[in-house]
Amino acid sequence: MLKAKNLLKYKDLIVVTFNYRLGIHGFLCLGTENIPGMKDQLALLKWIQQNIAAFGGNPKDVTIAGYSAGSISVDLLTIC
C-alpha cells in the first residue's frame, strides 16, 4: 500500500488524498451515466488542475494512484 510518508522520503512532492462516496451511494448501477463516486473523483482532479500551483505543484505533472477499489477507479479514470 502506498503511504505518503514513505513517498516523501525519496521525492519532493505534494500528496493530495481525498474521500469519495462508496457503496450504493457512490456506485449503484441503475443503467444510467450518473455514478456519483466517479464524479467525486473527477471533481477532485479538476480542482487539483486548477489549484495545485498555489501549493507549489505543477498541474501538468499529476500522478494518480489507488489501492484496492481505488486502483479500479484509477483504471476507470484513465478512460474518462
Residue 2, pLDDT > 70, answer no
| This prediction's pTM | 0.78
27: nearest Cα among 70, 79, 78: 70
Query: Which pLDDT value is given to residue 27?
Result: 83
Mean pLDDT over each residue of the chain, to the nearest integer: 87
Check residues 47 and 70 and name the one with the higher pLDDT.
47
* pLDDT confidence of residue 1: 62
Active site members: 68
